[in-house]
Amino acid sequence: MLKKVTWVLFAFLLVFPLLGVEGKGFAQTTQFNDVSTSHWANKEIHFLRGKNVISGYEDNTFKPNNSLTRAQAAVIMTNILGVGERNVSQATFPDVPTTFWASGSIEQAAALGIFTGRDGRFYPNEHISKAQMAVVLSRSFNLAGQSTSSFTDISNGFWAVQEISSLERNHIVETGGKFEPNRATTRAEFAAYVTRSAEPSFRLSSSDGDTVQFEGRVVTSSSTLNIRSQPSTSGTVIGSLTRGATVDIYGQSGNWYQIKHGSGWGYVHSDFIEKVSGSGSDGGTSNPEVIAEAQVTASSLNVRESANTTSNTIGRLTQGQTVSIYGYEGNWALILFNGKWAYVHADYLNISTPGSNGLTNRVIAIDPGHGGTDPGAVANGLRETDITLGIGRELEKLLNNRGANPFLTRTNDTFIPLEERAKMANDRNADLFVSIHANAFSSSSANGVESYWNSTHSSADSKKLAESINKYLASDLGMNNRGVKEAGFVVIRQSRMPAVLIEVGFITNTNDANKMKQPDFYNKAANAVLKGIEDYYNN
């Protein structure tokens, strides 16, 4: 995923269709003629104007109901992130020549993974849809979402459900009713949602439909935990929580949790909050963060509804079974069991916490296979290049959370030569190399996961890594285990560290493809790879 970008005051100008140029400055009055004080986005629009980050037309209008193009949105996002333009000698997209007015911004946005093209093209003059806007904001501001949405027209299988959910969970959009994901985003909507994403004080209050996501407990080693005005260490300290205090979590922005403070909102760092309980009558999860992994040491371990021996037993775990831990309550560990929150006694777990997982400061090369002019396998409405990049981004995020230093050989739908991918890993002295692929075969009956290694470099370790990852891919994805094999693929043959190439199922098989279409597939696959890497280092 997109790496965290430090942003200061917004330094962008909205580009307008009638003007066709950027940076036309006009004398500004206090209020746009066509944005009254009663307009729903009045405060957000004029906040941006007050910061000199948007300008209107010569007649002092904003035209809030007009739409933006993808090119204009790319310019806005690269400017807001302060990353400038990317000058290239050869255009990435055939419909965005280097002479195009927004070429530098589009190239930079694509390189950062903020935008991706479609069918190898960018479509710069196409209006940006609301679903595309959600994806852009979620990626740019590292907003966390989940696989369900409150909007009636967003199904669990919708391609952008997690990104749309991230706008709901972080109080950027009004919830309920319809989202209209395929409708063009208006200038007022874009201005409002950009403002709310970047400036938390503009986010919607609990009276606008917010709900508690879960209850957390302060676990800082010091006596207090700072509450800040923004989800950043540059935010002003507006208060503090004492160690051991419990607090309701309403949303998440990157590594920061949103909480209520006084009559407004504040932010605390997620590293110092452990999950105590989930919200909702069904015990459902709201995209919680795993704080540790554990293996059951007892022959049979009771899973209970509450953190005590008198609560109801709702199931059992067997010896050797692995579980993810989301928090602690006394000597009890909070886990997810059959989709519901539950507790197991920590005395019967072999717990591996961040810092003890062998990943700290490990440089890990993540290679999403194919890209650009090489889409890889295409079948059943899927493209291999999209699957591998989606898993790669999730894996990068998970490894970052474990203290590793991962990097992607490609961050967008761009073609990278095979030799160059291995060279990237060698030049950075990577500790591991993981190339991600999806399989295909002429017979649609072929199915399952398999992993490859090569004996040229780090033979024994490469085989061990492949075996470890493949084991978790098969079990966690519920796919046939086709085993581990030696092969001479360029990327693993030329990488000088332990290197594997994994196949996460067959695009050409209906059952495997249907699993790949599930909204949580990327995360499941990435977590399986993560478990395999941790298992490799711990054993």
Residue 99: CB atoms within 10 A of its CB come to: 7
Closest Cα partner for 45 from 27, 31, 66, 59? 31
Count Cβ atoms within 10 A of the Cβ of residue 398 and give its class: 0-12 exposed, 13-18 middle, 19 or more buried.
buried
Instruction: Tell me which H or E stretch contains 435.
Output: strand 432-439
The residue type of 214 is F
Q: Is 378 exposed, middle or buried (0-12, 13-18, 19+ CB in 10 A)?
A: middle
| Residue count (the chain) | 539
* Structure-token match 């109801």, residue found: 312
Alpha helices in 170-302 (DSSP H): 187-198
The tokens describing 226, both together, are 């700072």
Residues designated catalytic: 503
Which amino acid is residue 518, in one-letter code?
A: Q
Closest of 433, 427, 428 to residue 456, by C-alpha: 433
The C-alpha atoms of residue 369 and residue 248 are separated, in whole angstroms, by: 41
Place of tokens 């609990």: 206
- In what helix (H) or strand (E) does residue 407 lie, and over which residues does it extend? strand 405-408
* DSSP string of 41-74, one letter each residue: THHHHHHHHHTT-----TTS---TTSB-BHHHHH
- DSSP 8-state symbol, 491: H
State the virtual CA torsion across 468, 471, 473, 479 in degrees, nearest 10: 160
Residue with tokens 């989202």: 179
Q: In what order do the strands lie in the sheet with 237-242?
A: 237-242, 224-228, 264-269, 256-261, 251-253
How many other C-beta atoms are found inside a 10 Å radius of the C-beta of residue 454?
23
What is the spatial distance between Cα 43 and Cα 52, in angstroms, rounded to a whole number? 14
Q: Which residue has the tokens 């700072």?
A: 226
